[in-house]
Structure 1
Amino acid sequence: MKYIDEFQDPELARRLLDDIRATVTRPWALMEVCGGQTHSIIRHGIDQLLPDEVELIHGPGCPVCVTPLEVIDKALEIASRPEVIFCSFGDMLRVPGTGRDLFQVRGEGGDVRVVYSPLDALRIAQRNPDREVVFFGIGFETTAPPNAMTVHQARKLGIGNFSMLVSHVRVPPAIEAIMSSPSCRVQGFLAAGHVCSVMGVGEYPELAERFRVPIVVTGFEPLDILEGVRRAVRQLERGEHTVDNAYARAVRPEGNPAARAMLEDVFEVTDRAWRGIGVIPDSGWRLSSKYRDHDAEHRFAVGGIRTVEPAECRSGEVLQGLLKPHECEAFGTLCTPRTPLGATMVSSEGACAAYYLYRRLDLPAAKAREASPVV
């Protein structure tokens, strides 16, 4: 298959669903790690088309969603300073901090700009040598390489007025934290293909063996996800727990060596707080000492900012797979995309945003299962 349409073929979807139904004999709970996969699942109704025995649990795979409140508040503090041009991807501007967001900072006179690449922010720094330019660097292993390359270029070119506020997180420690929780119900994982395209699959076999869960690397189109579910269910039914690459068209076992080398040069592994979850050891990156001069948290002395997550937002339970978005009392009432309580309702990859956007409560599960696959 060469084209996107082929990965949305209804007839192939039916065959995969038939295979899953023929294989499954008991209930299984699988977690998709990536928020992009969550949106694809909800958009196409994949979870409603699967047999009752297969439950899909939405994991903490949205980079915007897991960025902790204290990092948002650090961004707000830096962006409010008159000497700063604060650059960010657009999906971070509506994420609520304590009392306001980056849109409000811009409305109050802060120079907050939406960019489409960290290199855009670097060019802004070159054109404005009398201003401090800060890029908000968040995300999983997927967005970390271009951010690392940008810091590398800033140092190489001697652009001293550029810095980055870093909040990068890593998937394998999050899987470990989820499986170590006493409330965990997850029996298998659909791993994020784009993350593995960078990092490879080398960190997953130990997790699969230790926790005795299959980990299947999948893509993002409907057939990708259904094939991932099919392979995971087959392993579970056979009592197996291995790493299976169902996204071989994009993922090599070793990942991308050049990108990994850049990450190792620019970043170092550190403990990271995940919004709504807490601190996960060795789950993130920060700039290494070699690049510390470009660390915005260090440059603007905001490392001491500490905050408390709002009690009314239950996004932490959503991110851990303990709660479906529509089961939250505030969903769709107090919490909407225009008035979000948490990042899971703001982000284009957030589970709450997916449920709201695709009106999940308007389509009962029984009706969905009677329908043809909508792919």
Structure 2
Amino acid sequence: MKYLDEFSDPQLARRLVDEIKAATSQRWSIMEVCGGQTHSIIRHGIDQLLPDTIEMIHGPGCPVCVTPLEIIDKALEIASRPDVIFCSFGDMLRVPGSERDLFQVKSRGGDVRVVYSPLDALKIAKENPAKQVVFFGIGFETTAPANAMTVYQAKRLGIENFSLLVSHVLVPPAISAIMESPTCRVQAFLAAGHVCTVMGTQEYPPLCDKYKIPIVVTGFEPLDILEGIRRTVLQLESGRHELENAYPRAVQSDGNSAAKAMLLDVFEVTDRAWRGIGTIPSSGWQLSSAYRDYDAEHRFSVTDIHTEESPVCRSGEVLQGLIKPHECEAFGTLCTPRNPLGATMVSSEGACAAYYLYRRLEVSSA
């Protein structure tokens, strides 16, 4: 199958691993930003094929994982109301709030529905004019255009019983926050190809210059990731700090102009809280003034809900790359996919879920 079999060729993978080993003369720490890349690295054992001098640090690029606890609690409050049909992608239903999750709201009679597109939620709103229909709009730049288009369509069609609970976050400000942290160990980044498919690559060269770091845009198949690591190591070893696009089959420098125009119309940049990390300035989107009537937080008056993170769950440290999942004392014991303490154990892109699923259950003695 194109882009699966041909980008998983074991002989080509071995050749890339050999080239990475030959090029490496000292220790390097590289962060893959995207949770999808984390799962590919752990699933295929890519980190175990690399020389011991290269450490892959798992970044905060899991959209479910970085959705803050207070947004989850706001979703739970809205979804519990009898006049609401609450729509979400399936991976949000088991993300724990302070006391419950969306599955529990559903089991107690809440009308919580899994949809596969925000446009599905808009259709539900059109078919149920007596109900308020809310879509849980989370994620990075990748999922934002579809959510923006849905709000745009709701306004254009005059569908007033639809609203969006927004928790969109942006990658470049997160990179800045990581690099400016006093505990930062990251020396280079693998950037997420699907984000750059939408936004392009123009935001990254200034980050390379400011922080003196290589950033290589790459995809999600094993050979994509290994090629991204190879290019990153070559830059590190030669003292360069540039942007490279190792995913040209999907990413162009200017991105998707139509998607960016829609985002510019519907959203505006705002400060955003990241679960386990805290507030990062100018790191998210909120609905612009022209679409503020479709903001579920204001429509349902839940803006004053504020909650504290669990002191037991160390997902914030995992998301910042400070610890590996199995270094958390609760991993695999108090915290499992069936009884998660945090979103990193629930999400299909969460680092804790990857370590549990692929049996990385013990801290290495090396």
- TM-score normalised by the shorter chain: which range applies? over 0.9
The equivalent residue for 2:286 is 286
The equivalent residue for 2:159 is 159
1:361, distance to aligned residue in structure 2 (A): 3.3
Q: Which ranges of structure 2 fall in alignment gaps of 5 or more residues?
A: none
Matched residue SS, 2:137: strand
Instruction: Please give the alpha-carbon distance, in whole angstroms, between the structure 1 residues aligned to 2:355 and 2:295.
Output: 36
1:2, distance to aligned residue in structure 2 (A): 4.6
1:307, distance to aligned residue in structure 2 (A): 0.5
1:4, distance to aligned residue in structure 2 (A): 1.7
Alignment of 1:118-197 (within 5 A): 118-197=118-197
The equivalent residue for 2:324 is 324
Instruction: Please give the alpha-carbon distance, in whole angstroms, between the structure 1 residues aligned to 2:364 and 2:265.
Output: 50
Q: Which ranges of structure 1 fall in alignment gaps of 5 or more residues?
A: 367-375
* Contact kept? 1:48, 1:365, Cα under 8 Å: no
Instruction: Please give the alpha-carbon distance, in whole angstroms, between the structure 1 residues aligned to 2:266 and 2:173.
Output: 20
When residues 334 and 27 of structure 1 are mapped into structure 2, their CA distance, relative to the original with a 3 A threshold, is: same
Instruction: Please give the alpha-carbon distance, in whole angstroms, between the structure 2 residues aligned to 1:363 and 1:223.
Output: 27
Provide, for residues 246-295 of structure 1, a one-character-per-residue CA deviation record: whole Å limited to 9, x for no partner.
00000000000000000000000000000000000000000001001111
Instruction: Please give the alpha-carbon distance, in whole angstroms, between the structure 2 residues aligned to 1:318 and 1:78.
Output: 29
Alignment of 1:327-346 (within 5 A): 327-346=327-346
The equivalent residue for 2:261 is 261
* Contact kept? 2:63, 2:139, Cα under 8 Å: yes
The equivalent residue for 2:349 is 349
The equivalent residue for 1:29 is 29
Matched residue SS, 1:133: strand
Instruction: Please give the alpha-carbon distance, in whole angstroms, between the structure 2 residues aligned to 1:234 and 1:39.
Output: 24
* Contact kept? 2:327, 2:363, Cα under 8 Å: no
Matched residue SS, 1:5: coil
1:363, distance to aligned residue in structure 2 (A): 11
Alignment of 1:220-259 (within 5 A): 220-259=220-259
Matched residue SS, 1:176: helix
* Contact kept? 2:332, 2:361, Cα under 8 Å: no
Q: What is the total number of aligned residue pairs between the two structures?
A: 366
Q: Which amino acid letter does the alignment assign opposite residue 115 of structure 1? A: V
Alignment of 1:101-112 (within 5 A): 101-112=101-112
The equivalent residue for 1:90 is 90
* Contact kept? 2:326, 2:363, Cα under 8 Å: no
Further displaced range: 16-25 or 2-11: 2-11
Matched residue SS, 1:60: strand
Matched residue SS, 1:55: strand
Identity across aligned pairs (percent)?
A: 77
1:3, distance to aligned residue in structure 2 (A): 3.4
**Over aligned residues, Cα RMSD in angstroms?**
1.2
Instruction: Please give the alpha-carbon distance, in whole angstroms, between the structure 2 residues aligned to 1:30 and 1:209.
Output: 17
1:365, distance to aligned residue in structure 2 (A): 9.0
Matched residue SS, 1:208: helix
Instruction: Please give the alpha-carbon distance, in whole angstroms, between the structure 2 residues aligned to 1:206 and 1:317.
Output: 26
Matched residue SS, 2:7: helix
The equivalent residue for 1:45 is 45
Matched residue SS, 1:163: strand
Matched residue SS, 1:75: helix
1:362, distance to aligned residue in structure 2 (A): 7.2
* Contact kept? 2:69, 2:308, Cα under 8 Å: yes
Normalised to the residue count of structure 2, the TM-score between the two structures is 0.99
Normalised to the residue count of structure 1, the TM-score between the two structures is 0.96
* Contact kept? 2:64, 2:91, Cα under 8 Å: yes
Matched residue SS, 2:322: coil
* Contact kept? 1:199, 1:256, Cα under 8 Å: yes
Alignment of 1:47-62 (within 5 A): 47-62=47-62
Matched residue SS, 2:282: strand
* Contact kept? 1:70, 1:307, Cα under 8 Å: yes
